[in-house]
């Protein structure tokens, strides 16, 4: 009973904090956070958005939402910056992001089945000016991907997609494929899909920390295949414990919210998730960048 009461009070405290922070999105007044400790090598935790969350919105609309939520990192999808974009178009794209105080830090996810598709992806990432590709390659081309990582000095994060994914359902499968390849071969760890495949996202975060380059931050309704994405504070993953683990391993990548629940009207859900994440981090004394 005592532990249940403590958990109840803890949840109320986190909820109150997250609501206060989420209020920034809709114009509510807020107070500055007091005394935050820095994590991840003294830089705090970076909060971003996975570009796929904005699949139904153009770049201008997407950036307006990010600005309202005070989020500053974006994983770039090709529907916002096509693969055949010219250098001038790429320059204008980055200038547009900068006007909203947003940085495009990676490209993808990109599906790849052949060497020419891999070549195109690495050339694209080089021209865009990022050092990380999120991808879903066929297993038989992984040695070639590793060669390209060395050639371009660009990291590659394989994305896990849960029990429906016959190639990479969870982080353990990815790790077993890449553990003997170049250290620039890693993963974009989708914690929600990992949970849907009945693999503990907190244990796997710690277990594979050296190979986790990017993170799709989400919660899910159930720890099984029929579980679906939900607001960060409403699912079965213990987000405060996950944040504590991020701080423990000094995670230096981006925590990118990927919200697939209401993709034609995602603002409220992403804003709630961002507010909850900021509430959790503030309660733990961790700075969000």
Taking only the tens place, the pLDDT of each residue in 83-127 is: 999 999 999 999 999 999 999 999 999 999 999 999 999 999 999
| Residue 42 confidence class, pLDDT cut points 50, 70, 90 | low
At 16 the pLDDT is 46
CA distance linking residue 158 with residue 214, whole number of Å = 9
pLDDT, one tens digit per residue, over 191-222 is 999 999 999 999 999 999 999 999 999 999 99
Q: What local confidence, expressed as pLDDT, does residue 169 receive?
A: 98
Q: Please give the full DSSP string across 93-137, using - where no structure is assigned.
A: HHHHHHHTT-EEEEEEEEEE-SHHHHHHHHHHHHHHT-SEEEEEE
How high is the pLDDT of residue 252? 97
Domains of the chain in start order, with CATH, are 39-283 (3.20.20.150)
So what's the pLDDT on residue 61? 98
Note the pLDDT tens digit of each residue in 129-180. Answer: 999 999 999 999 999 999 999 999 999 999 999 999 999 999 999 999 999 9
pLDDT of 231 above 70: yes
Distance CA 74, CA 51 (A): 6
Q: CB atoms < 10 A from the CB of 279, how many?
A: 24
User: By CB neighbour count within 10 A (0-12 exposed, 13-18 middle, 19+ buried), where does 3 fall?
Assistant: exposed
Contact 194, 170 (CB under 8 A): yes
- In this prediction, residue 1 carries a pLDDT of 42
- Residue 282 scores a pLDDT above 80: yes
Mean pLDDT of the chain: 90
* 67 HSE (CA, 13 A, CB side): 12
Which residues are bridge partners to 286 per DSSP?
37
């Amino acid at each position: 009973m005592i532990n249940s009461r403590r958990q109840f009070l803890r949840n109320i405290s986190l909820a109150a904090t997250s609501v206060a922070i989420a209020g920034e999105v809709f114009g509510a007044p807020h107070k500055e956070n007091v005394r935050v400790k820095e994590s991840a090598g003294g830089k705090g935790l970076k909060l971003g958005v996975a570009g796929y969350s904005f699949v139904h919105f153009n770049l201008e609309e997407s950036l307006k939402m990010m600005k309202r939520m005070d989020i500053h990192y974006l994983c770039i999808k090709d529907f916002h910056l096509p693969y055949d974009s010219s250098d001038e178009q790429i320059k204008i794209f980055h200038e547009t992001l900068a006007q909203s105080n947003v940085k495009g830090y990676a490209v993808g996810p990109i599906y790849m089945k052949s060497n020419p598709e891999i070549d195109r992806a690495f050339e694209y990432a080089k021209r865009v000016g990022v050092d990380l590709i999120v991808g879903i390659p066929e297993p038989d081309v992984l040695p070639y991907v590793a060669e390209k990582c060395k050639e371009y000095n660009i990291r590659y994060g394989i994305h896990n997609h849960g029990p429906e994914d016959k190639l990479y359902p969870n982080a353990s499968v990815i790790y077993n494929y890449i553990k003997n390849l170049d250290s620039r071969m890693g993963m974009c760890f989708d914690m929600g899909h990992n949970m849907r495949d009945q693999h503990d996202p907190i244990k796997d975060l710690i277990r594979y920390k050296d190979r986790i380059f990017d993170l799709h931050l989400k919660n899910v309704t159930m720890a099984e295949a029929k579980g679906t994405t939900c607001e960060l504070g409403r699912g079965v993953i213990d987000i405060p414990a996950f944040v504590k683990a991020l701080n423990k391993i000094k995670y230096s990548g981006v925590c990118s919210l990927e919200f697939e629940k209401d993709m034609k009207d995602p603002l409220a859900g992403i804003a709630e998730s961002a507010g909850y994440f900021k509430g959790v981090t503030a309660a733990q004394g961790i700075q969000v960048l």
